[in-house]
Amino acid sequence: MSALRQAIALSLAFLVLLTLGGLLLDDVITEEFRAETEEALREEYQRISDRLTREGRFPEEIVTAEVFSDSGVGYAVLRADGKVLGPVLRGAFDSQGFDILEAEALFQPKALETLDRIFDLIDEDDEEELSDSGPAAEETAAGQLAFDVAFESEADLGWRIYSGAVLDGHLVVYAPGVSAFGSDLTSVILVFVVILSLPALIIGLIFGIRAQRRLNRIGAGFDRIADGELDLRLAPKVIRDDIDELAARIDGATERLQASIRQMSDFSANIAHDLRTPLTRLRLHLDQADEAEDQTAHREAAIAQMDDIIAIFGAIQRIARMQSQGRRDGFAAVDLGVVVEQVHEIYEAVAQDAGQSLSCRITNAATIHADRSLIMQLLANLIENAIRHAGEGARIAIDLSGSRLVVTDDGPGIPEAERGRVLDPLYRLDRSRNTAGAGLGLAMVKAIAELHEAELALMYTADERGLRIEVRFPQP
Amino acid sequence: MRILLLEDDPEIGTWTVKGLTAAGHVVDWIENGREALLAATTRDYDVLVFDRMTPDLDGLSALKTLRSARITTPLILLTALGAVEDRVEGLEAGADDYLSKPFAMTELLARITALGRRGRAEAAETATRLSHRGLDLDLLSQTCACNGTTVLLNPKEFRLLEVLMRSKGRIQTRAMLLERVWDINFDPSTSVVETHMSRLRNKIEKPFGLEFIKTVRGSGYMFID
């Protein structure tokens, strides 16, 4: 059920992030709004106090239209004779500078009633209708402005005021508070989060369950593969996403595993077969040694058979060690040209004695990172393979060009049907079953090439004669 | 020679002791690594023969301890692991020679003899001239003469003859020659040694009707003393 849990966790994380983001946004907007309001209040205060100072006296009356100006700010003054002009309570004149007041503390009850009525009208009608409709609109021509400023705020929420002394009186400038707008946004966000949480959870669950089901299917398939059903494949035909990709990879691994298990079982069968021959001969010699007159001959023959068996085991062990990789400690810079010359020098005479010729050409020999003695063995195995199987009169050639090593012969080659398998350990062509050697030469070459990350290719000439084996070492 | 053998398999141990004793050596056989290390540090031996995998302390670690204590007695490492890397590991740890199991007694004897002599024959190694029964090898000019007549040898033939002459009277096995002359650490499936040996003999023996090199059946070759 981990996919399900993941889906729920993801939806929850999404909602928490949405809430946090909303609150942060709210905070930023509120702060911005507060700053703007204060700026407007200060400007309005300045404008009005300049005008009053210029005129040198307070107006007799403040008309209702002036309760709220265009900037959304209203004002009231306290005259020297203690008379208040405008709808503001006397107490509002006590403060200096910025302050926040509740509507009840700022406005006279009558003015408050008017404001309430305005807000009620706003709740009932649209903005346009309000401006057209009869008595209420006339009665509160100024209220229209109030609405413009405060339309989404509640009248009884905090109002921001700015007050100070002007002439021999007092001036208060006021505007609807910022907290109204802010708290609305918060609740809007919370409502959104609540509304969104359900679909988010449902969508998350749908995706989660689907993914879970697919993973379960892969898991079950994997169990069956582990139990031996190596033919099973898990990926769909079309790869759409990461889960399909994973299934495809498991398929690839299964396929390689299947191939190597097949090879291993062939290998075991071949070991059994190949050891049977020298073991049978060994037994024969030991059996006969008792009765024979010349015991030494049988003993020596037995030892020779034993040496064959030991050689087979030694080679199998070496190949196994190399295939397990990791053993690259003995690697150093190796000049391929030197190795080729050395091996050519050793085998030229051997080939001559077998009635063959061994030639060698070296151009731009590369220096590679390798195990010198393994590279020597690789080349020696290729040449010995050619000497043993190419037949009398064959011409064998070594050609080294850069880091590409090619050994060719013009012997009988390898029949097409058997080409795929000659690199398998212990595989021997049917016709060479009875010649010496354990069939490990080319398998060893393959193992050494793989250890050195070299490409190994067997090629055949058009006329089906001869063999060309190419080893490309990685460029240094 | 006095030999210390570290080998935990009773059958192989018995067989090895028997073979070495028959060849005239005196053998101390110890079955665990710790005791062998103690013996090697407290008594004098000419050659040590250590199996690589032994109880208590394995042969390779015992060897490393010996070498770090600056005990330089020649040592042959015996092992069931024949891979080149194991060989390199053994030689790097300070082994003087390396023999993979199963081995032939003649091979072990030849290697022990070669090692035991080496310490004493250091001076001979630095000689610039090897001469015996009319055969002269000048190591500086890389020339060979038989009864005063110059014989043309290629570098590997020269090296082969040099190795044989330096160990005259002692068997050099095929494997030893492959390592020392051609630097080959694997078992070639063709007759590399035989081919080159017969070419060498055709040059130094046939024309003069002499015999310098003896083939020891099933073991190797020996320069006749």
Q: How many angstroms separate the first and last alpha carbons of chain B?
A: 20
Residues 6+ apart with CB under 8 A from A227: none
Reported as a single tens digit per residue, the pLDDT across B53-77 is: 888 888 889 999 999 988 888 999 9
Beta-sheet strand order (sheet of A467-472): A357-363, A395-401, A404-409, A467-472, A455-459
Interface test with A, best of B174, B195, B216 (most A CBs within 10 A): B195
In this prediction, residue B199 has a pLDDT band, given cuts at 50, 70 and 90, of: very high
pLDDT of residue A240: 82
Beta-bridge partners for A162: A98, A173
CB contact under 8 A, B104 and A314: no
Of A375, A377, A395, which is closest to residue A387 (Cα–Cα)?
A395
Residue of B nearest to A349 (CA): B195
Say if the ipTM goes beyond 0.90: no
One digit per residue, the tens of pLDDT, for chain A of length 476 reads: 566 777 778 878 887 888 888 888 878 877 887 788 888 888 888 888 888 888 887 776 665 434 445 556 777 888 777 788 877 888 888 878 888 877 777 777 777 777 677 666 656 654 444 444 444 444 444 444 444 444 444 444 578 888 888 888 888 888 876 554 455 666 777 787 788 878 888 888 888 888 888 888 888 988 998 888 888 888 888 888 888 888 889 899 898 888 888 877 777 777 777 778 778 888 888 888 877 777 888 888 888 888 878 877 877 777 777 776 556 667 889 999 999 999 999 999 999 998 999 999 999 999 999 888 889 989 999 999 888 888 888 899 999 999 999 999 888 877 766 666 666 655 555 544 444 444 577 878 888 888 888 998 887 766 667 888 899 999 87
| Nearest CB partner across the interface for B85, out of A330, A342, A346 | A330
pLDDT of residue A427: 59
* Beta-sheet strands, E only, within A155-304: 159-166, 169-176
Of B27, B23, B1, B2, which is closest to residue B13 (Cα–Cα)?
B27
Cα gap A359→A362, rounded to integer Å? 10
**Host H or E run for residue A396:** strand A395-401
Residue of A nearest to B190 (CA): A384
Do the beta carbons of residue B224 and residue B212 sit within 8 Å? yes
pLDDT of residue B198: 92
CB contact under 8 A, A303 and B104: yes
CB contact under 8 A, B84 and A373: yes
pLDDT of residue A137: 43
CB contact under 8 A, A350 and B104: no
DSSP B144-159: EEETTEEE---HHHHH
Tell me the residue type at A81: D
- B120 Cβ under 8 Å from any chain A Cβ: no
Alpha-carbon gap: B211 to the closest alpha carbon of chain A (Å): 22
CA A110 from chain centre, in angstroms, equals 68
Q: Is the pTM of this model over 0.80?
A: no
Cα gap A345→A349, rounded to integer Å? 8
- B188 Cβ under 8 Å from any chain A Cβ: yes
For residue A112, give both structure tokens.
């408050």
pLDDT of residue A203: 84
Reported as a single tens digit per residue, the pLDDT across B155-174 is: 889 999 999 998 888 889 98
- B88 Cβ under 8 Å from any chain A Cβ: yes
* Beta-sheet strands, E only, within chain B: 2-6, 26-30, 47-51, 75-79, 97-100, 129-132, 135-138, 143-146, 149-151, 171-173, 213-216, 220-223
Reported as a single tens digit per residue, the pLDDT across B95-132 is: 998 888 888 888 899 899 888 776 555 445 567 888 88
Look at B200 and A144; give whichever has higher pLDDT. B200
pLDDT of residue A183: 56
Do the beta carbons of residue B203 and residue B157 sit within 8 Å? yes
Residue spans of alpha helices (H) in A152-178: none
Size of interface A-B (CB pairs under 8 A): 76
Question: Looking up tokens 């100070």, which residue turns up?
Answer: A164
Q: Under DSSP, is residue A99 helix (H, G, I), strand (E, B) or coil?
A: strand
Of A203, A153, A206, A151, which is closest to residue A183 (Cα–Cα)?
A153
Residue of A nearest to B195 (CA): A350
| Nearest CB partner across the interface for A346, out of B81, B102, B182 | B182
Do the beta carbons of residue A367 and residue A334 sit within 8 Å? yes
CB contact under 8 A, B184 and A376: yes
Do the beta carbons of residue A208 and residue A7 sit within 8 Å? yes
Cα gap B74→B79, rounded to integer Å? 17
Cα gap B178→B192, rounded to integer Å? 8
Looking only at the bridges linking them, the beta strands covering B75-79 and B97-100 are parallel
pLDDT of residue A339: 93
- B184 Cβ under 8 Å from any chain A Cβ: yes
pLDDT of residue B81: 63
Do the beta carbons of residue A220 and residue A8 sit within 8 Å? no
Percent with pLDDT over 70 in chain B: 93
